[in-house]
């Protein structure tokens, strides 16, 4: 095996081990044993596992960067076409380089403070931002929000890709269509001044105002009912007084009727007596 072939062999073995175990869990002894070589061979080519890891990451970074940036470079393409290309570019890389993608998304070792994958996402987000700024200008949307939308799009796509790498139940194009469906329909209906409708301080103030208005209306309705009850009670009292007066008058009339009746009876008796026939002698 030539020196070049041995180097490529060690890179392939290192990529596989770093993808499955992570940088910290892999040792030079394990790399050498997997390649069936002695440890000095690994040191000779890479100076240690840190050097081998750096080469693996650099290769994967260049492959993914070329794929993603290449999908974003067509200035004449329709914005939706760019979104579709970017989604497919990432998913194609994941499909064809599953171990390389796992190496990139794992935590970077303490010897790599730059965070290679984060750096890559930053570069891609910057490119997406440039595209969005031009598009926002045409749509009269605030360009200052473009960096945030760029981060959202890249983050959404990458994390979906990570999920798919572990659970590849959907086809690549089917998943890309889902990503584009959410991203494009969101982008195509952006509001110039978006606001939270149900949460946030403004929505909270609106809810509090509505609650106060409802409580005020409830109190007013309650007071209205109490007033109506009080008026009804007064009307009932007046009606009762009038009824009592009428009842007293009825009693007086009844007494007069009795007296008249008593006075009428003697007259009737006298009349009856005078009209009776006189007995003969």
CB contact at 8 A, 197 and 203:
yes
Pick the more confident residue, 281 or 237.
Answer: 237
User: For residue 139, what pLDDT is reported?
Assistant: 85
CB contact at 8 A, 106 and 198:
no
With 50 as the cut, is the pLDDT of residue 264 above it?
A: no
| CA separation for the pair 224, 217 (Å, rounded) | 10
Q: In the structure, what pLDDT confidence band is assigned to residue 266 with cuts at 50, 70 and 90?
A: very low
Average pLDDT of the residues in 108-117: 56
User: For residue 281, what pLDDT is reported?
Assistant: 36
| CA separation for the pair 71, 69 (Å, rounded) | 5
Residue 188: how many CB atoms within 10 A of its CB? Answer: 10
35-44, 128-137, 217-226 — which one is most confidently predicted on average? 35-44
Q: In the structure, what pLDDT confidence band is assigned to residue 19 with cuts at 50, 70 and 90?
A: very high
User: For residue 1, what pLDDT is reported?
Assistant: 86
- CA distance from start to end of the chain: 184
With 80 as the cut, is the pLDDT of residue 243 above it?
A: no
- Domain 56-187: what homologous superfamily? Tetracycline Repressor, domain 2 (1.10.357.10)
Q: Residue 99's Cα: distance from chain center in Å?
A: 34
Alpha helices (runs of H) in the chain, residue ranges in sequence order: 3-21, 28-35, 39-46, 49-71, 79-96, 98-105, 116-139, 146-166, 172-187, 200-274
CB contact at 8 A, 159 and 87:
no
- 32: Cα within 13 Å, side-chain hemisphere: 16
Report CA-CA distances (Å) from 201 to 197, 204, 209, 260: 10, 5, 12, 89
With 70 as the cut, is the pLDDT of residue 118 above it?
A: yes
CA nearest to 55, candidates 46, 64, 63: 46
Q: 67 is written with which tokens?
A: 């794929």
Pick the more confident residue, 118 or 91.
Answer: 91
| Domain boundaries along the sequence of the chain | 56-187, 199-235
């Amino acid at each position: 095996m030539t020196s070049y072939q041995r180097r490529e062999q060690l890179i392939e073995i290192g990529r596989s081990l770093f993808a499955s175990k992570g940088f910290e869990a892999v040792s030079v002894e394990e790399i050498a044993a997997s390649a069936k070589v002695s440890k000095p061979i690994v040191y000779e080519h890479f100076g240690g596992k840190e050097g081998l890891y750096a080469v693996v990451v650099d290769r994967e970074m260049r492959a993914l960067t070329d794929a993603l940036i290449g999908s974003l470079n067509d200035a004449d393409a329709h914005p939706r076409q760019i979104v579709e290309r970017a989604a497919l570019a990432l998913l194609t890389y994941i499909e064809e380089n599953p171990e390389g993608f796992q190496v990139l998304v794992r935590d970077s070792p303490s010897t790599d403070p730059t965070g290679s994958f984060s750096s890559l996402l930053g570069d891609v987000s910057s490119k997406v931002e440039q595209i969005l700024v031009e598009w926002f200008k045409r749509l009269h949307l605030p360009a200052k929000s473009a960096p945030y939308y760029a981060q959202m799009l890249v983050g959404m796509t990458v994390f979906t890709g990570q999920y798919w790498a572990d659970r590849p139940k959907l086809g690549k194009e089917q998943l890309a269509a889902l990503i584009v469906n959410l991203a494009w329909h969101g982008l195509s209906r952006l509001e110039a001044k978006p606001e939270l409708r149900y949460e946030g301080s403004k929505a909270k103030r609106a809810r509090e105002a509505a609650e106060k208005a409802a409580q005020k209306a409830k109190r007013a309705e309650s007071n209205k009912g109490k007033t109506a009850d009080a008026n009804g009670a007064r009307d009932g009292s007046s009606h009762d007084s009038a009824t009592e007066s009428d009842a007293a008058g009825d009693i007086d009339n009844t007494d007069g009727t009795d007296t008249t009746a008593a006075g009428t009876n003697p007259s009737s008796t006298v009349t009856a007596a005078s009209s009776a026939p006189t007995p003969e002698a």
